[in-house]
Amino acid sequence: MKRAYRTTRRRKSLIRPEAKQLSECFPTFAENLLINLPSGSHPLALWDSLHDAEVVSIRSSLLQRNIELDIENKHLGGLHKLREGFRFLFHLEGVESVRVLRYAIWPGEFSVPSGSSREEERRLIEEYQSKWRQESASWNEFESAIMVGNDQIFYIHDAAIVIPNDDIIGLKLCGQLNHSKYHEIFLRAEKLTILGNDASRYSLDEFRRLGEIYWASR
């Protein structure tokens, strides 16, 4: 049986997504999760497996202290011959914190000159994104927007997870609500289980490997 991940105790709409580096989701991870990570703890990139994926629904229970993210990734499904309609279910238990931030995009002009190097392009995008305004948002409104039947999705650009020894699991997803406003969501929980909607089960390493194989095949 694959093990679940558990513990012992209780900037911004992309101009060119391919230009965003994996580490850009990470710099203020500990600060935004409001925890002090143990020395040596580092976020694990989930970009390979979650980039271009869509959160099609969110279900949560305050009473049961759980949240489930229903995630569709057609790229992985096609390559790995997963059945039609297959979705990954990120099931978090012992949820301690849920937060969502949104960004108001700076309305000034912006462009990347033709022929710019990747380094120059990245620098210009970072400067542009630094002018955006971070705003607090309501988790309940965000969750309610992404419910079955609402036809709204959260389109993932980047993702990261932290699983320190004997500490909180931290999950961060960066993306756009309905391909429009950019949001970042932060979840803290005691346990994460990755399932398929066909009753399959994945360890974190197996899930990450699915993405690595996909991008290596391109």
pLDDT in tens, 149-176: 667 899 999 999 988 765 678 999 999 9
At 28 the pLDDT is 52
Output 142 or 2, whichever has higher pLDDT: 142
Contact assessment for residue 32 and residue 172, using Cβ atoms and an 8 Å cutoff = yes
- Give the confidence band of 186 by pLDDT, cuts at 50, 70, 90: very high
pLDDT of residue 5: 45
Q: Quick check: 127 pLDDT over 60?
A: yes
Bridge partners of 90? 69, 194
Distances (CA, A) of 16 to 47, 52, 111, 112: 15, 13, 11, 10
Q: Give the CA radius of gyration of the chain.
A: 17
Q: Residue 207: pLDDT above 50?
A: yes
16 touches 39 (CB < 8 A): no
CA dihedral 144, 46, 129, 109 (to 10 degrees): -80
Quote the domain boundaries for residue 13: 5-216
CA nearest neighbour of 170 among 36, 79, 18, 72: 36
pLDDT of residue 79: 86
Q: What pLDDT does residue 150 have?
A: 66
Q: Would the pLDDT of 7 be above 90?
A: no
Domain count, the chain: 1
Rounded to an integer, the average pLDDT of 202-208 is 95
The proportion of the chain whose per-residue pLDDT surpasses 90, expressed as a percent, equals 59
Strand partners, 97: 188
More confidently predicted of 79 and 100:
100
Range from 62-66, 77-81, 144-148, 180-184 carrying the lowest mean pLDDT: 144-148
- Would you state the pLDDT for residue 99? 93
Q: Are 50 and 173 in contact (CB under 8 A)?
A: yes
Summarize pLDDT for 11-67 with one digit per residue, the tens.
333 333 333 343 455 445 444 544 444 445 678 999 999 999 999 999 999 999 999
pLDDT confidence of residue 180: 83
